[in-house]
Amino acid sequence: MALILVGQTEIRDILKRQTYEAISQRIDLRCHISALDRSQTADYIIAHLNFAANGDAPDIFSDSAINAIFDFSAGLPRKINRLAGLSLMHAAQVGKRIIDDHMIALIIDGELSW
């Protein structure tokens, strides 16, 4: 039988407890995805846009927008995805072709500040 455990970093702390030592000993492969740096964040966003556009994505996010996304997300892919997705939806709703840092700030304040 094979079992795949997927979770946030807290799962490592749980498996360190003596109660779960037998399970921890049986884990053959561990993988941890760390936060991205600013350059990797830009590459990550561009790669997702290219995938969605079958390799021909236009420049939608300005450099200042990517900086703002990185500053907010601290390079965490889940936060990057959330903020970029919300900003793409907002841009489509208001008819904007370029997402800048002002729009990112608007999304953060309006949608992600709670």
**pLDDT digit string, tens, across residues 35-68:** 999 999 999 999 999 999 888 888 999 999 999 9
| Closest to 45 measured CA to CA, from 54, 34, 57 | 57
C-alpha span between 94 and 5 (Å, rounded): 41
42 CB contacts (<8 Å, ≥6 apart)? Answer: 66, 70
C-alpha span between 41 and 47 (Å, rounded): 10
Which CATH code of 1.20.1270, 1.10.357, 1.10.8, 1.10.3470 fits the domain covering 38-111? 1.10.8
pLDDT in tens, 67-76: 999 999 999 9
Q: What is the dihedral of CA 105, 72, 111, 50, to 10 degrees?
A: 90
Domain limits, the chain: 38-111
Q: Please tell me the predicted confidence (pLDDT) of residue 11.
A: 86
